[in-house]
Amino acid sequence: MLILNGIIHTMDGEVIDSGFVQVKGTRIEEVGHMSQLPAGAELDQVIDARGGHVLPGMLDIHCHLGLYGAGVGVEGDDLNEATDPCTPQLQALDGVNPMDPDFREARQAGVTCVLTGPGSTNPISGQSVLLKTTGRVADQMVVRAPAGMKFALGENPKSTYRKQGSGPMTRMATAALIRGNLTRAMDYHLKWERAQASQEEDEPEFDSKLDALRPVMAGKLSAHFHAHRADDMVTAVRLAREFGLECVLVHGTEGHLIPDFLAKEGIPVITGPILTHRSKPELANLTMENTAILARAGVQVAICTDHPEIPIQHLPLCAALAARAGMDEEEALAAITINAACIAGVGDRLGSLTQGKDADIVVMDGHPFDWRSRVKHVLIDGQEVTEA
């Protein structure tokens, strides 16, 4: 397949004012200026993107797509397992419903990959999964599983367990509960490591919770910390440094108050949702300028919808609002493409129009941040999603 004559946002180089993308099978074969189009290039399937924009498939790397559907009451709500404050053994893959119509709306909007996972009522919520947005069997949609371990600080776990009286009721207790579980997980992990390296030491008795945390302790799985307030963000960094965790901050609403600290620590931040109101006290300092301020300070940022907080099809609108609030347009686009892919650990496969990467491609009839622009074509793994 050839996509011709479009304005190409490669996301790993300069914007090409009139270029092509060649697809072979499930991969991107070549990208370049129209003057570089190889003689005799396959022309059996052609998309003429003249006057339009071509970009990588967009990624929303913090949402709850497929875990919170259109059901009534408990029928579609598989988001928060509030029976136990710490549930690292839960796998989002076991709760995702690929038939949720929101998957269709995601890919129609050009969102081709999502990191979806448990909610934030639990200090340790469980394992997220990175999925393509097309398919009927969740296992066949997986890009990476698990894709992150969800932790939560701030008001959500406090408010949940204050009502139940069976968990943390203060920020101190939430952090202490996480610290205690990580301490046990580190001990468990080291015992496994010693047992595997030695014939003489016995393996520890299997514990599903601690075993789920082993990749986190080994630095192979990122810890995604839900944190809105600046002090909660600092607590997440403190915990990460204590245990040597690969840390990602989610929401980061007050990140604009401590941008230099976050930049110095090298902590990525997934900002959002921004298209919302101050629905709870820890959003008091919500500002559209947050993402731009963090980016200017040198923080690696992505933008999320936190679907269903903001419907996932509005991901490009969220990036457009960040640009309107002072973020460079290409940086804002990077926040829902290449930056998002890198933070999710799949920058080698997704997020840019680069030779050898997955052919997840969006063709729009105008700039992706123009509210009048429409998605004309969506390719996922080189196959056009016809309903888009």
Q: Is 315 left (phi over 0), alpha (psi -120 to 50) or beta?
A: alpha
pTM: 0.96
Going through the chain in order, the beta strands assigned E by DSSP cover 2-8, 16-24, 27-33, 46-48, 53-56, 58-63, 111-116, 124-132, 142-152, 223-227, 247-251, 269-271, 301-303, 361-364, 375-380, 383-384
Q: For the chain (length 388 residues), average pLDDT per consecutive 10?
A: 97 96 96 90 83 98 91 70 94 96 96 97 97 97 98 93 80 97 97 88 93 98 98 98 98 98 98 91 95 98 97 97 97 98 98 98 97 97 81
User: Which residue matches tokens 């940022």?
Assistant: 301
SS3 350: coil
Q: How far apart are alpha carbons 235 and 225 in whole angstroms?
A: 10
Q: How far apart are alpha carbons 374 and 388 in whole angstroms?
A: 10
Q: Does an H or E element contain 292, and which? A: helix 290-297
Residue 229: exposed, middle, or buried by beta-carbon count in 10 A (0-12, 13-18, 19+)?
Answer: buried
What is the predicted pLDDT for the residue at 387?
59
What is the predicted pLDDT for the residue at 72?
39
Q: How far apart are alpha carbons 363 and 376 in whole angstroms?
A: 6
What is the predicted pLDDT for the residue at 73?
53
What is the predicted pLDDT for the residue at 259?
98
Collect all residues with Cβ–Cβ distance below 8 Å to 264 and sequence separation of at least 6: none
SS (H, E, C) 171-236: HHHHHHHHHHHHHHHHHHHHHHHHHHHCCCCCCCCCCHHHHHHHHHHCCCCCEEEEECCHHHHHHH
